[in-house]
Amino acid sequence: MMKFRLWLSGALLLGLTSVAAAESEAPTVLPNLFPFPNATGILKTFNATGRLDLTGPFFQSLGTNGRSCATCHQPADGWSVSAAHVEDRFERSHGLDPIFRTNDGSNCDHNIDTATMEGRRKAYSLLRTRGLIRITLAVPAGAEFDVVSVRNPYGCSETSTLSMYRRPLPATNLRFLTTVMWDGRESSPQTGTKPITFATNPADLLSDLAHQAMGAALGHAQATTAPTQEQQKKIVDFEMALSTAQAIDFGAGALDVQSASGGPIILSEQPFFVGINDPLGLNPFKTPFTPVIFTLFNNRWAHVSGPEEHGHHPDRRASILRGQALFNSRTINISGVGGLNDATGLPVINGTCGTCHDSFNVGNHSTGAPLNIGIADVTNPLGVHYLPVITLRNKTDGTELSTTDPGRALISGKWTDIGKFKGPILRGLAARAPYFHNGSAATLKEAVEFYNIRFGMGLTHQEIADLAAFLTVL
Ligand code: HEC
Ligand code: HEC
């Protein structure tokens, strides 16, 4: 196993992280299901069209700053970036890798020192330590609120354009998306894109992704002209063919053997349609909601004997199985969640993880449902002192509210949308820490601890460990 891991990290160093930088030695194709190691196991991507071509427009510099899509969407990192790998890239490139650009890679884009290594270390601290990219958006015309003040620890306290700090979402498993971007802005009439619905899918998603790719090239890559329609289509076709999941856990062994159905190949066959399992009755065939979201692991898998024979530890499998059961059945008294409690008029919903993560074996919301669970709140128990404090005032009644990121409200202009984000896909998590839109959970255990505190779940240490183990093998 040791030899295997060394070989893999060698392959990683060979230049997957900087395809553009080391053109001559960089591989131009990867075998399908190429194994990428992370702290707890091995992540694989199944590409429906065969081997992975690393020369297409997704991997090309489409702009003026040397970045490609892969700069922030790395195959090894579940097609996002892990903060640990960003830090590696900083050290190896002395902070000059194309991800370190001041347009949106640094904490702020003015009054910063990027001439020295020390200056760059400071300027890119949020990207290095939390994998955060600066997203700038203006309050939309006609919004129900205006900006009173911005207190940004890095400068960039302008109120005309707000700076928010967000994690790159994975550019894989996209066929399950019911809204594009954390705030759904690439699936919104306000940006000329389309809401994703049962009736219009997948045409809506494909056009949203093409629009997103154009925006990413013009923004992140600072292109002076938009990618051609053909380039956009190639990018979208490329992304749509990818299915990514943890395939092997160092403790539990392969995740798709002995009647288990983890890993990317089975994920690529997962049935899905918009609204497939909506708790608010939006299933197009009126099929009732079920909280049993994940059915990847079962008793038979957990209790196979002979660890030396199959390279797994039975305790780890049992913990994962308990974690899956907790996800599917542990009651959460959901209260104060914007987009859910207010939408249903129920002050408390006796829900589960699956009330919000309802797509079968994927875990995003099966309809576009912006929700406020409190991740952007200044009182987020995980601690968000590293983020700006943005104070908004309701134009109708004068109420003031502080948040670290207005989320959906900066698209819709609605006061009630402040702090709302989408429930993201829960696959390939182990490869892309930290978690939540603002990277406030350093580990999956911390993500579970957030829910334990926020909803007073009373989880035991063992239950927290089991839930985290389960999330780790998705
Ligand atoms: C500088 C880093 C960076 C680069 C370069 C970049 N992205 Fe992203 N990407 C992000 C961030 C950050 C987000 C989330 C932003 C948000 O939701 O506000 C994101 C979101 C996405 C999403 C949305 C996924 C979802 O679940 O909604 C897709 C798809 C995507 N990027 C594709 C691309 C493509 C295609 C390119 C190249 C044309 C690209 N990105 C270049 C950082 C980057
Ligand atoms: C009330 C709705 C709701 C419930 C209940 C809920 N989640 Fe979430 N979850 C969300 C939303 C919304 C996000 C994105 C929040 C953000 O980043 O602002 C999220 C994000 C996550 C993430 C981070 C994923 C990533 O890519 O960063 C994990 C992990 C997660 N949830 C696990 C769970 C688990 C485990 C449970 C049950 C203990 C659970 N969630 C219960 C709505 C919910």
pLDDT of residue 312: 74
- Residues 69/63, Cβ–Cβ less than 8 Å: no
| Ligand 1 atom index nearest CA of 135 | 18
Q: Is residue 58 part of a domain?
A: yes
Beta pairing class for 242-249 and 41-47: antiparallel
Q: In terms of domains, do 338 and 265 share one?
A: yes
Residue nearest to atom 2 of ligand 1 (CA): 72
Residue nearest to atom 40 of ligand 1 (CA): 69
Distance 347 CA to ligand 1 centre (A): 35
Per the structure, the count of domains in the chain is 2
Q: Which residues form the pocket of ligand 2, taking CB atoms under 6 Å from any ligand atom? A: 327, 332, 334, 337, 340, 351, 353, 355-357, 371, 373, 375, 421, 423-424, 426, 435-437, 444, 447-448, 451, 467, 471
Question: Which of 40-44, 144-148, 276-280, 302-306 comes out lowest in average pLDDT?
Answer: 302-306
What mean pLDDT, rounded, does the chain reach? 94
Copy the structure tokens of residue 305: 């004997």
Rg (CA), the chain: 22
pLDDT of residue 24: 58
List pLDDT tens digits, range 413-449: 999 999 999 999 999 999 999 999 999 999 999 999 9
- Closest to 366 measured CA to CA, from 420, 414, 412, 426: 426
Rounded to an integer, the average pLDDT of 150-169 is 97
Q: In terms of domains, do 37 and 158 share one?
A: no
Rounded to an integer, the average pLDDT of 20-36 is 80
pLDDT of residue 221: 96
Copy the structure tokens of residue 393: 């005032």
| Ligand 2 atom index nearest CA of 352 | 5
pLDDT of residue 111: 96
Q: Tell whether the model's pLDDT for residue 19 goes beyond 70.
A: no
Q: Domain of 396?
A: 141-166+384-414
pLDDT of residue 308: 47
81: CB partners within 8 A, 6+ apart: 72, 73, 74, 99, 131, 168, 432
pLDDT of residue 6: 34
List pLDDT tens digits, range 164-189: 999 999 999 999 999 999 999 999 99
pLDDT of residue 313: 83
Q: Is residue 132 part of a domain?
A: no
In this structure, the number of other CB atoms found within 10 A of the CB of residue 275 comes to: 22
Copy the structure tokens of residue 79: 């097609």
Rounded to an integer, the average pLDDT of 110-129 is 97
- Alpha carbon 367 to its chain's center: 17
Where in 117-266 does DSSP place strands (E)? Answer: 133-138, 145-151, 161-166, 242-249, 253-254
Q: Is residue 13 part of a domain?
A: yes
Element containing residue 30 per DSSP (H, E): strand 29-30
98: CB partners within 8 A, 6+ apart: 18, 20, 21, 61, 65, 66, 67, 68, 71
pLDDT of residue 22: 47
Q: Please give the Cα distance from 25 to 137 (Å, whole number).
A: 39
To the question of pTM greater than 0.75 for the whole model, the response is yes
- Residues 406/419, Cβ–Cβ less than 8 Å: yes
Residue nearest to atom 40 of ligand 2 (CA): 353
Read off the pLDDT band of 90 (50, 70, 90).
Answer: very high
Q: In terms of domains, do 161 and 64 share one?
A: no
| Ligand 1 atom index nearest CA of 425 | 26
Q: In terms of domains, do 162 and 174 share one?
A: no
Residue nearest to atom 37 of ligand 2 (CA): 353
Q: In terms of domains, do 296 and 286 share one?
A: yes
User: Helix (H, G, I), strand (E, B), or coil: what is residue 284?
Assistant: coil
Read off the pLDDT band of 11 (50, 70, 90).
Answer: very low
Q: In terms of domains, do 325 and 453 share one?
A: yes
Q: Is residue 89 part of a domain?
A: no
pLDDT of residue 311: 64
Residue nearest to atom 24 of ligand 1 (CA): 169
pLDDT of residue 69: 98
For residue 423 and ligand 1, the question of a CB distance below 6 A is answered with no
Q: Is residue 129 part of a domain?
A: no
Q: In terms of domains, do 268 and 351 share one?
A: yes
Q: In terms of domains, do 357 and 454 share one?
A: yes
pLDDT of residue 18: 45
Q: Is residue 123 part of a domain?
A: no
Share of the chain above pLDDT 90, in %: 92
pLDDT of residue 310: 55
Distance 343 CA to ligand 2 centre (A): 18
Q: In terms of domains, do 328 and 242 share one?
A: yes
Ligand nearest to the CA of 439: 2
Residue nearest to atom 29 of ligand 1 (CA): 171
Q: Tell whether the model's pLDDT for residue 15 goes beyond 70.
A: no
Q: Please give the Cα distance from 56 to 238 (Å, whole number).
A: 8
- Residues 219/104, Cβ–Cβ less than 8 Å: yes
- Residues 355/292, Cβ–Cβ less than 8 Å: no
Q: In terms of domains, do 159 and 277 share one?
A: no
Q: Is residue 262 part of a domain?
A: yes
Q: Is residue 78 part of a domain?
A: yes
Q: In terms of domains, do 286 and 207 share one?
A: yes
Q: In terms of domains, do 288 and 176 share one?
A: yes
